[in-house]
Amino acid sequence: MTFKEIGFRGVYHRFWAIDINEKIRKSCIDFPDIEKANCLLLYGYIDHDAGTTMEVIACGNKDNDVFSFYEAPDDIRSFIRIGAIENDTFYDLNDIFDELKERYKEKIEVPNSYKASPELMETRRIAVLDASRHEHYPDDIQLYLRTKDDNVEICWVRIEGVTDKTFFGRLLNEPYKDSGCHEGDIIEFFIYETDEGRLVCVSEGKIVKPITSDENSLKTAIKNFNGNRTESNLIEILEILRDVLVWIPCNAVVSEADIEILKSKKVGDTFQSTDNIRMIPDILQAGDEYFFPVFTSCDEMGEYGENFSKVEKWFLEAIILAQNNEKQVKGIVINAFTDSFVVPNDLLEIVKKRGSRMNEVNE
């Protein structure tokens, strides 16, 4: 079977095997026994931003319909975005007795950490959305956006929430026509049945959460709290953190295959990666304690930020990254080098449980 036959629900949190080609072999060159392997053991998960992804667990050997797998590496992680292997043959390992799950339980901890909210998980189960879904990005929906001249324009949104009455999605592209909303805005949309009986997604362009200057509101709230540490000022920060975008400094890790390509390039040559570039968040250390740094803007990083790539994430997503970091951080530090604020793990849990305010709309 191929991914197009299986679908994202079929690979999600399940083990599959694929044959190894030379490109895949190069990207897994440091895996144990790669030189004698002819297949890979994969485990599927969904990255909200990067879509359906297969974690590489171990190398293996396929002899007709019999599979055997080698040990998984302890210090290496590799994954494959589904678009790179969508036409490959997937072999169903049918791990009904959880033998693979138990054997590789430590290896699947990372992909299992890509948890979605209950609301988002609910939308992934709604089959009537499938005709509008992106094939590789299950949370991305194509919809018809009504413009101010009473026409419609096709746009893409990434689902961020749902209630009994409507869906909420972050607009992924800037509309060509005036619709009253812009790329990055959170807009409402709903399912509509056309005269021909087709189910499509439609939005009137109603903004639930616009792309915002929360950078300034969060900075102001932190400044107010640092000057007057009252409960009300603390609550104000925590409320803003429920729906704010932050910048995360990351180390960009390039595959061995791409490094070899880069070595052959000259100054001025163009370069396009052949494998995934991994973005690993930086961690700050204070004495014996570790903290996960985020910033309200790239400028807040100062000279420190010159050494890193920057990734923009919702603070709620940053919480998940921090909680799953191998350093066992004590919390998240906001704007570490200016007017800073540390959100310890107990407060992170409060923000996480409260969730986004979008889920309260129309309830």
Tens digit of pLDDT for each residue in 204-248? 998 886 544 455 688 989 998 998 888 888 998 998 898 888 999
Both 122 and 24 in one domain: the answer is: no
For strand 199-203 and strand 140-146, is the pairing parallel, antiparallel, or unpaired?
parallel
Laid out side by side, the sheet with 245-253 consists of 278-281, 245-253, 309-314
Tens digit of pLDDT for each residue in 269-291? 554 555 556 778 999 999 999 99
CA–CA gap between residue 314 and residue 352 (Å, rounded)? 12
Q: Of all residues in the chain, what percent carry a pLDDT higher than 70?
A: 89
Both 161 and 299 in one domain: the answer is: no
pLDDT of res. 260: 62
pLDDT above 50 (res 362): no
pLDDT of res. 110: 83
Both 330 and 219 in one domain: the answer is: yes
pLDDT of res. 265: 60
CA 245 to chain centre: 14
Q: Which of 96-110, 133-147, 306-320 has the highest mean pLDDT?
A: 133-147
Both 160 and 276 in one domain: the answer is: no
Neighbours of 103 (CB within 10 A): 16
Domain end: 78, 112, 146, which one?
112
Both 227 and 271 in one domain: the answer is: yes
CA–CA gap between residue 157 and residue 173 (Å, rounded)? 8
pLDDT of res. 101: 93
Contact 168, 188 (CB under 8 A): yes
pLDDT of res. 271: 44
Query: What's the angle, vertex CA 47, arms to CA 35 and CA 363, rounded to 5?
Result: 165
Contact 192, 198 (CB under 8 A): no
Both 99 and 145 in one domain: the answer is: no
What type of residue sits at position 337? F
Domain range for residue 44?
Answer: 3-112
Domain end: 82, 112, 142, which one?
112
Both 225 and 323 in one domain: the answer is: yes
Both 19 and 152 in one domain: the answer is: no
Query: What's the angle, vertex CA 120, arms to CA 116 and CA 125, rounded to 5?
Result: 110
Mean pLDDT value across residues 117-143: 93
Residue with more model confidence, 359 or 155: 155
pLDDT of res. 3: 96
Contact 208, 187 (CB under 8 A): yes
What is the token pair recorded at 195?
């005269």
pLDDT of res. 274: 52
Task: Quickly list H helices, the chain.
Answer: 3-6, 8-11, 22-27, 99-103, 109-112, 118-124, 214-227, 231-241, 256-263, 315-323, 345-354
Both 167 and 226 in one domain: the answer is: no
Both 103 and 145 in one domain: the answer is: no
Both 149 and 98 in one domain: the answer is: no
Tens digit of pLDDT for each residue in 167-190? 999 999 999 989 889 998 889 999
Number of domains making up the chain: 3
Both 168 and 96 in one domain: the answer is: no
